[in-house]
Amino acid sequence: MNPEFVVYGYFRSSAAFRVRIALNLKGIEPEWKFVHLLKDGGHQHTGSYKSVNPQELIPTLVHDGHTIGQSLAIMEYLDEIKPEPALLPKLPTDRARVRQIAYAIACDIHPVNNLRVLLHLRDEFGASEEKRAAWQRHWISLGFGAIETLLAGSRQTGKYCHGDAPTLADICLVPQLANARRVNLDLSSYPTILRIERTALEHPAFAAALPAAQPDAE
């Protein structure tokens, strides 16, 4: 354990899943604090967690007296303080390509399908469980369609989204696939995405980050 790193997370959160992969790749074993997102209306809304992260979202990293929310900010930070192995390639154009794929997931798919959005859909629009699942499939399939096109159409795609080593793009992609399966999205239109997922899950940093492998898994 590197007790100077403390991370607040939850086994099923795909944003926490990303940070687990990044930490595993960097060889950092933090102290985990588990925040149950469903119990008692969600422990992320308690006063004690709110003082850690006013957004009442996970994950949060505490390191060296600094508290950092937002999984992407945490991962860029980890990459800056511990550059090897790199989560981003060297060239600016390559970094932009990786970030574009990462953000297509982390901005345009994941937040629209986040727990709080689904609960709001239920409460404000009476959306049934099936309607909420259809909502999620809609945004995942739109995003995956675009990402499949970007990946399949580029010679820069290798074993992973960019070349033959994992980057931020793969770190965002793999947890999003877990969410896609949870709502029974048909993934057959995304062969490149599925091929990359298979590669990633053979990597111990990805496999050890799977939700079912976490101490707080249910």
Q: How far is the CB of 177 from a copy of itself (least distance, A)?
A: 18
Q: Select from 43, 97, 162, 203 the one that contacts a copy of itself (CB under 8 A).
A: 97
Q: Does 22 bind a copy of itself (CB under 8 A)?
A: no
Give, in degrees to the nearest 5, the angle at Cα 32 between 95 and 41.
100
Q: Does 66 bind a copy of itself (CB under 8 A)?
A: yes
Q: Does 59 bind a copy of itself (CB under 8 A)?
A: no
Which residue, 15 or 21, has its beta carbon nearer to a copy of itself?
15
**Residue 218 to residue 56: CA distance in whole angstroms:** 22
What would the DSSP string read from start to end of the chain?
Answer: --TTEEEEE-TT-HHHHHHHHHHHHHT--PEEEE--SSGGG-GGGSHHHHTT-TT--S-EEEETTEEEESHHHHHHHHHHHS-SS-SS-SSHHHHHHHHHHHHHHHTTTTGGGSHHHHHHHHHHH---HHHHHHHHHHHHHHHHHHHHHHHHT-TTB-SSSSBTS--HHHHHHHHHHHHHHHTT---TT-HHHHHHHHHHHTSHHHHTTSGGGSTT--
Which residue, 138 or 201, has its beta carbon nearer to a copy of itself?
138
Q: Does 117 bind a copy of itself (CB under 8 A)?
A: yes
Q: Select from 95, 122, 137, 159 the one that contacts a copy of itself (CB under 8 A).
A: 95
Which residue, 76 or 216, has its beta carbon nearer to a copy of itself?
76
Using the rule CB under 8 A, give the single segment among 145-153, 159-167, 179-187, 191-199 that binds a copy of itself: 145-153
**Residue 116 to residue 57: CA distance in whole angstroms:** 9
Give, in degrees to the nearest 5, the angle at Cα 22 between 73 and 58.
50
Q: Select from 46, 77, 178, 216 the one that contacts a copy of itself (CB under 8 A).
A: 77
Number of residues interacting with a copy of itself: please give it, by CB under 8 A.
48
Using the rule CB under 8 A, give the single segment among 25-33, 66-74, 187-195, 196-204 that binds a copy of itself: 66-74
Which residue, 100 or 189, has its beta carbon nearer to a copy of itself?
100
Chain contacts with a copy of itself (rule: CB under 8 A):
54-57, 64, 66, 68-70, 72-74, 76-77, 80-81, 92-93, 95-97, 99-100, 103-104, 106-108, 110-112, 114, 117, 120-121, 124-125, 127, 131, 134-135, 138, 143, 145-147, 149-150
